[in-house]
Amino acid sequence: MLSICTLKSAPSLLPRSPRASLCNHTLGHELHCSSMFCSPCSSSAPYMRGREAVAMRLDVSELPGFSAFASTLQRRLLDVWGRDSFDHLVNNAGHGEFTPFAETTKAQFDGLFDVHVKGVYFLTQALLPYIANGGRIVNFSSGLTRLSAEGFSAYAAAKGTIEVLTRYLAKEFGPRGIAVNTVAPGAIETDFGGGIVRDNAEVNALYAGMTALGRVGVPDDIGPMVASLLSGDNRWVTGQRIEVSGGQAI
């Protein structure tokens, strides 16, 4: 199986992210990673564990570049794998903004929606002709669409939009057998927000205290869920928001 995963982090950060965990859990899959906002990552990175990968550069906030990216992808598919389609698209590129509502600027708001909403919408549209019938799409949302935390109003609004979009894509792509779902992580020890959950003991303890399983998440808690949604075992699951949070704020 052949997957495309949009990324955001620099190569040196990837092993600490859910994207690396996904690579580790997509056994039997060739993984095609397109790296966002950074130089192409190495296809021989240790977290790939022998799987074949090609890295391509794309800024998901620059919509005019999507057509050229799709054309380049088409050539790579043929040259590297001898295929004209791929099986899985994981829309994971993104960033956060921690700013109170009254202080959020138009530039911050637009930046979030350009990446998290327009980027997902129009990149998926550009790549749709190359997604195989019976394929899978996984979009990323956040636990912040269910619970509220001061400073994340714009970010959560963008992610809420993705949850609605996921249901519409599931409806429209259903005749082709393409399942579309949303994964919504809770507080995870990654580089998100400058690594505040991972590196700030007080914040880490705060979120652990509101989580039923008694700790915050780690990347390896997220990758297996995404991989399961890409597998045939969950072929009858589509249009769903699946929170992976250890029971945060329940």
Q: Which residues are catalytic?
A: 155
Q: Please state, as a whole number, how many other Cβ atoms lie within 10 Å of the Cβ of residue 54.
A: 18
- In 3D space, the residue among 1, 179, 180 whose CA is nearest the CA of residue 86 turns out to be 1
Q: Which two tokens stand for residue 36?
A: 């966002």
Instruction: Compute the distance between CA of residue 143 and CA of residue 118 in angstroms, rounded to an integer.
Output: 20
The alpha-carbon radius of gyration of the chain (Å, integer) is: 17
Q: Which residues pair with 159 in a beta bridge?
A: none
Q: Which two tokens stand for residue 1?
A: 């199986």
Instruction: Compute the distance between CA of residue 124 and CA of residue 162 in angstroms, rounded to an integer.
Output: 12
Q: Which two tokens stand for residue 104?
A: 């959020």
- Tell me the helix, strand and coil percentages in the chain, rounded to 5: 50, 20, 30
List CB contacts of 180: < 8 A, sequence separation 6 or more: 136, 137, 138, 139, 166, 169, 170, 173, 238, 239
- In 3D space, the residue among 26, 49, 25, 23 whose CA is nearest the CA of residue 35 turns out to be 23
Q: Is the dihedral of CA 46, 90, 159, 11 positive or negative?
A: positive
